[in-house]
Amino acid sequence: MRNGRCRQLEQKQMTREMTGAKMVIQALKDQGVDTVFGYPGGAVLPIYDEIFLQNDIRHILVRHEQGAVHAAEGYARSTGKPGVVLVTSGPGATNAVTGLTDALLDSIPLVVLTGQVPTFMIGSDAFQEADTVGITRPCTKHNWLVKDTNQLSAILHEGFHVATSGRPGPVLIDIPKDVQFATGTYEPAKPNASHYQPIVKGDMEEITELVAAIEAAERPVFYTGGGVINSGPAASQLLRELVDATGIPITSTLMGLGAYPASGENWLGMLGMHGLYEANLAMHDCDLMINIGARFDDRITGRIDAFSPNSKKAHIDIDPSSINKVIKADIPIVGDVAHVLEDILKVWKARGRKVNREAIAKWQEQVSAWRRVNCLAYTGSEKTIKPQYALQRLEALTKDHDRYITTEVGQHQMWAAQYLNFEDPNRWMTSGGLGTMGYGFPASIGVQMAHPDALVVNVAGEASWLMNMQEMGTAAQYRLPVKQFILNNERLGMVRQWQELLHGERYSQSWSEALPDFVKLAEAFGAKGILCSDPADLDDAIMEMINYDGPVIFDCLVEKHENCFPMIPSGKAHNEMLMGEADTQGVIQAGGAVLV
Amino acid sequence: MSALHIKKGSTRHSAYNLRPTFSDVQEKHTLAVLVENEPGVLARVIGLFSGRGYNIESLTVAEVDHTGHLSRITVVTTGTPQVIEQIKAQLGRIVSVHEVHDLTVEGASVERELAIFKVVGEGDKRVEALRLADIFRANVVDSTLNSFIFEITGAPEKIDAFADLMRPLGLAEVARTGVAALLRGV
C-alpha cells in the first residue's frame, strides 16, 4: 500500500506543473546534483527561494562569482561529475566569464545558471541587465536564453547532456526572472532527446593501422593529455594496461598528470616548456608518437617546424577540430579515449601482442641515460627555503594521505607539476589552457566540498593567491580544511623569470609590494596561519599544517630569484632546453649544455 | 647577452610566433551549414569566423525546413587547405550545427546569387544598358525616365561581369544576396 502510494507520488513528480524556479531545483535533483556553488542577487531570487525550501542540494555561498565557477571546476575535475553554478544577472554573469573561459580551454563540464531580467525588459538596459548569452557565446560550449517556462526543463537536461558529452565543456543557461516565476510543465530527462551525439567509437581501420605502427616502432612514445582523465577512470586503467604490456615510455601534459602513475616504470614525467629532459627528448627523438587526448598546445610543441621531426604521429581525440589543427596527424582517430584504447588493446592482443622488444629495450636504455641527467636537480640551501625543496618536502609528507592538489598559475605551478607525484587521475587540478591566476584557492574549496575527509592542498604563489583571497570567507564559513601552501617569493615569479631571460632583466611591475601578513590574515578569518622561512623548520611546519583541522594559510618564504628549469625557451625546439642557471648566464655555451 | 642569443631589449622572440609549415595556397570554398533555427545561431557561426580569424566572402541564411526548425547557411570562404579543414571541423563542433558540407569538394554544385542594380543614365548609355541587360537575361524591375533597376540571377562571376559592364553606363547602387548553393544530382 505504502509502496504503491510512493510510486504514484514519484509518477506525479515526473511530469507535473510547477514554477520555473522549482523546475531548476527538480532538474538538478534529477541530474544527481548534490552541490551548487553560487551567489544570490535580484534576478535569481525565486530560485534562491526554492533552495531555501529544500535540503537535498547544498548551496555553497562563495564571495565572488569567479570563485563559484572555479570551485565548481575543482568539484568537477576531482569527481568527474559536472560542476553547477548559480549566479545572478549582469555583474553576476560577467564575473563568471573568466571561469567559463577557463573551463572551456581545459574541457571541464560545468552547468552555469544565470538569472536574467524579465523577458519583457530584455533590451531596455534594465538594472543589472547584460547580454549574457552574447557575452558568453565564445566562452561556453553552448548557451541558452530560456524565454518560456515550458521549455525550461528540456533545456536544463540538454545543458547537462551537452556539458558532459563528447569533449566536455561549460554551458550556460540564462533564465529571466519572469520565466522563474511562471508555471509550466516539468518534463524529466529523456534519453537521446538531443541531436548532439558525438561519436565515441574510433575507426577500426585507423586503429588497426596504429596497432601495426606500435608493433613495428623502434622508438615509440605515448603523449597523453587531459582527454584521458575526462574520459573517466576506465580510460586510465586501459592506458596503464597498454603501457605496461608494451613497455612504451609515456609522458603527459600538465592536464593529464595522474592518468598513468608517477611510480610506473615507463613514466617519463611531464613534457613541454617546463617538462622533464627525458620526456622532451623522447618526444623529439621518437619514431612513433601516440597522442592520446592531448592537443599539441604551444606550451608542448615549442617550435613547430622542429617538433619531433622524424616521427609518425597518431592522434586520438574526441574533438575532430583538434586533429590537424597544429600538427599533421599521420594516423588520426576521432573517438573517446576509453573506447579507442579498448579497441587498440583488443586488436593488439588479437594480433599476438607484438612489439619490437629488442628495439624498445634499446630505446628504454636511451631513456634511462636521459633520466640520469637528473634534470630536476637544483642547488640546495641551508639558509633559505628553495621552492623545489618545499615541494619535495610537501610531497614526502603528504604522499600517503588521501591527497588532492590544486594550484594557482606560475612558477609554483610548474614546480608542483615537476616535484609532486600523482598516482591516480582526478587528483590534480590546475588551470592549464587559460592560465588563470586565482584559480587554485576556489578550486580547492570545490574539491574539499566533494571530498570532505581528504587532504586538499592548494600550491600557490602569493600573487596568484591574492587574486581570489576573498574566498577565505567561504573556507571559514563551511569549515573547509583547505591548506593554502603559498610559496612566497614576493615576486610574480614567472613574469620575473621571463623578464630576466628575454627582456634584459628589466623587472617591470613584477614584484609583490605591500603584501599582507598572511598569518594575521588567516587569523582574521578565524583560520590558522603558519609562517616558515627556515629550511630546518619546514617539516615540522608542514606537519602542523596537515594536522590542523581547519583552513590553513601556510606562508612559506622561499628564495626570491629562483628560476624554473628545465625550460624550452619560446620558439625553440624540444632539444634546445635550458637546464639550469648556468645555461642562462652563459657560463656554459648553450650548445654544450644542452645534450642531445 | 644570455645563452638564448637574444639581444637585451629584443622583442622579436614571442611564444606565439610558432606558425606551422602547412601549404599557403589560398583556396575558395563554398560551405553549406545546416543549423538549428534558433536565436543566436547566426551569431555563433559568424562569431566563430571572427573569433578565429577566418574569412567570409559571402554569407546567406534562411530557414529551409520549418517543421524541422532547420536553417541553411551558405558561406563562401577562403583559406589554406588546412584552414578550410579547421573551419569545417570548428563549424561541426558548434552544438546547433547539424551538418557541414564542403560543396567545393563533395562534387559538382550549382551556385546562384541574386543581385539588383540601379543604373542611372540617359540617351545612348541608357539604351546600351538595356541591350546588355537583355544579353545577360537581367530583368527590368523598376524604371524612371533616367534610371533602371535590373534584377539578375546567376553565378557570382556572371554578376561580377554584369557589374563591370554597368559601371561606365551609370551604375549607382548594387544589392547582392550572397551565394546559395546545392550539390548537383542526388
B139 in reach of chain A (CB within 8 A):
no
Closest partner residue to A571 (CB to CB) among B18, B40, B92 is: B18
Closest partner residue to B95 (CB to CB) among A142, A503, A504 is: A142
Chain A residues near residue B95 by CB distance under 8 angstroms: 141-142, 162, 196
Interface confidence, given as ipTM, is 0.89
What nine digits make up the cell of A416? 608542483
pTM for this entry: 0.92
Q: Answer whether A558's CB lies under 8 Å from A394's CB.
A: no
Instruction: For residue B154, give Cα distances in angstroms to B77, B105, B176, B178.
Output: 19, 21, 11, 11
Per DSSP, what are the bridge partners of residue A269?
A251
A127 is catalytic: yes
3-class DSSP state of A382 = coil
Closest CA to A229 of A440, A443, A429, A449: A429
Closest partner residue to A571 (CB to CB) among B2, B13, B40 is: B13
Measured in angstroms, the CA of A304 and the nearest CA of chain B are apart by 5
Q: What pLDDT digit, counting tens, does each position of B134-170 carry? A: 999 999 999 999 999 999 999 999 999 999 999 999 9
Measured in angstroms, the CA of B104 and the nearest CA of chain A are apart by 20
Closest partner residue to A504 (CB to CB) among B8, B39, B44 is: B8
What is the Cα–Cα distance from A131 to A147, expressed in whole angstroms? 14
pLDDT for A501 equals 87
Pairing mode, strands A267-270 and A250-252 = parallel
Chain B residues near residue A321 by CB distance under 8 angstroms: 86, 89-90, 92-93
Report the residue of chain A nearest B51, measured CA to CA: A138
Total beta-carbon pairs less than 8 A apart between chain A and chain B: 92
Q: What is the DSSP string of A58-116?
A: EEEE-SSHHHHHHHHHHHHHHHSSPEEEEE-STHHHHHTHHHHHHHHHTT--EEEEEEE
Measured in angstroms, the CA of B22 and the nearest CA of chain A are apart by 9
A137 in reach of chain B (CB within 8 A):
yes
Across chain B, mean pLDDT equals: 89
What is the Cα–Cα distance from A23 to A592, expressed in whole angstroms? 67
B12 in reach of chain A (CB within 8 A):
no
Q: Answer whether A455's CB lies under 8 Å from A402's CB.
A: yes
Hey, of A502, A505, A508, A574, which one would you mutate to test binding to chain B, going by the most B CBs within 10 A of its CB?
A502
Chain B residues near residue A588 by CB distance under 8 angstroms: 3
Per-residue pLDDT of chain A (596 residues; tens, 9 = 90+): 445 555 555 555 567 999 999 999 999 999 999 999 999 999 999 999 999 999 999 999 999 999 999 999 999 999 999 999 999 999 999 999 999 999 999 999 999 999 999 999 999 999 999 999 999 999 999 999 999 999 999 999 999 999 999 999 999 999 999 999 999 999 999 988 899 999 999 999 999 999 999 999 999 999 999 999 999 999 999 999 999 999 999 999 999 999 999 999 999 999 999 999 999 999 999 999 999 999 999 999 988 888 999 999 999 999 999 999 999 999 999 999 999 999 999 999 999 999 999 999 999 999 999 999 999 999 999 999 999 999 999 999 999 999 999 999 999 999 999 999 999 999 999 999 999 999 999 999 999 999 999 999 999 999 999 999 999 999 999 999 999 999 999 999 999 999 998 888 999 999 999 999 999 999 999 999 999 999 999 999 999 999 999 999 999 999 999 999 999 987 788 888 898 876 765 433 343 333 22
